[in-house]
Amino acid sequence: MQNELSEALEVALSIAREAGEVIREAFLRPKDVIHKGAVDLVTETDKAVEKLVISRLQERFPTHLFLGEETTEKEVITNEPTWCIDPIDGTTNFVHRYPFSAVCIALCIDKTPVVGVVHNPILGETFYAAKGQGAFLNGKPLSVSPTTELSQAVVATNIGYDRTEKGIDFTLGNLRALLLRSVRAVRLCGSAALGVCDVAVGRVDAYYEWGVRSWDIAAAVCIAREAGAVAMDPSLQELDLTSRRVLVCCSTKLGESMSRVLCHKHPTL
Ligand code: LIP
């Protein structure tokens, strides 16, 4: 099984780098922006990259299933080998030339990410991992920070696309709760995948978000776990990639503190 995961990782890395060139070349060009929602954007580059990634993967893994942000009708992950693909995580960043966007490719087996690649071609950062084989950034091994206390933690999240009053109140309520507990800082980069990878690198100590999709986080969760992070539901239950919520922490103790502080009752999710 380890050899199969190594092969799948090498294939995913090669495809991510090819897709990254498409993203990098389009980054500074004018973009045709399409609205999936009031502030939920997609571009022709998102669609072209997803088509490229899926076609390359299908050539190598014709029996596998595929879940892509721009082509999936219903977000369901079965126990079968399934590739979860976000062609550009951080699409708004891509449109506005804010350099935090990444192509994300994950292989899930039994609903668990076992291979993950998060490639930011703008900054030249490639995060990757296979289950049981460690996590890496540009070839260097990754390990999480040793932080256990909220008062010593830098916490990351993102605002997402919810612009309803109740959704905004929920989002701001959690930020307020953390600040009242004197977390050192809060960071929002506009990409869930890169935010979770920042936990893997040890740049931040925790990442949480309500509203994420499986394709946003599957690859980064594999990478973070291989770097020593705990990735779970904010309730501390097992993570369901399709639940629309995630909590990734550098230590179990910090995760328990985060879970106690955060409100879990999102108005719609
Ligand atoms: C984005 C996530 C981000 C979240 C946004 C959006 P996209 O993914 O990475 O964390 O806050 O709502 O889901 O849409 O750029 O692929």
Q: How far is the CA of 3 from the centre of ligand 1 (A)?
A: 32
- Successive 10-residue mean pLDDT values, the chain, 269 residues: 94 98 96 87 94 98 96 93 98 97 98 98 98 98 98 97 96 98 98 98 98 98 98 98 98 98 94
- Given a contact cutoff of 8 angstroms between Cβ atoms, the answer to whether 52 and 26 are in contact is no
Nearest atom in ligand 1 to the alpha carbon of residue 213 is 13
Ligand 1 contact, 50 CB (< 6 A): no
| Spatial separation of the C-alpha atoms in residues 145 and 199, rounded to whole Å | 8
Q: How far is the CA of 212 from the centre of ligand 1 (A)?
A: 6
72, 174, 191: residue to mutate for ligand 1 pocket, most atoms within 8 A of CB: 191
- What per-residue confidence (pLDDT) applies to 37? 85
Please list, in sequence order, all residues whose beta carbon lies within 8 angstroms of the beta carbon of residue 88, skipping any fewer than 6 positions away: 23, 43, 45, 46, 49, 94, 101, 102, 103
Ligand 1 contact, 192 CB (< 6 A): yes
| Spatial separation of the C-alpha atoms in residues 128 and 12, rounded to whole Å | 9
* Shortest-distance Cα residue to atom 12 of ligand 1: 160
Nearest atom in ligand 1 to the alpha carbon of residue 87 is 16
Please list, in sequence order, all residues whose beta carbon lies within 8 angstroms of the beta carbon of residue 40, skipping any fewer than 6 positions away: 161
- What per-residue confidence (pLDDT) applies to 167? 97
Nearest to 72 by CA among 111, 39, 46, 90: 46
Question: From residue 44, how far is each of 49, 55, 70, 238 by CA, in Å?
Answer: 9, 17, 10, 36
- What per-residue confidence (pLDDT) applies to 200? 98
- What per-residue confidence (pLDDT) applies to 36? 86
- Given a contact cutoff of 8 angstroms between Cβ atoms, the answer to whether 85 and 174 are in contact is no
The active-site residue, picked from 77, 85, 88, 109, is 88
Ligand 1 contact, 226 CB (< 6 A): no
The active-site residue, picked from 46, 69, 70, 226, is 69
- What per-residue confidence (pLDDT) applies to 41? 84
- What per-residue confidence (pLDDT) applies to 38? 82
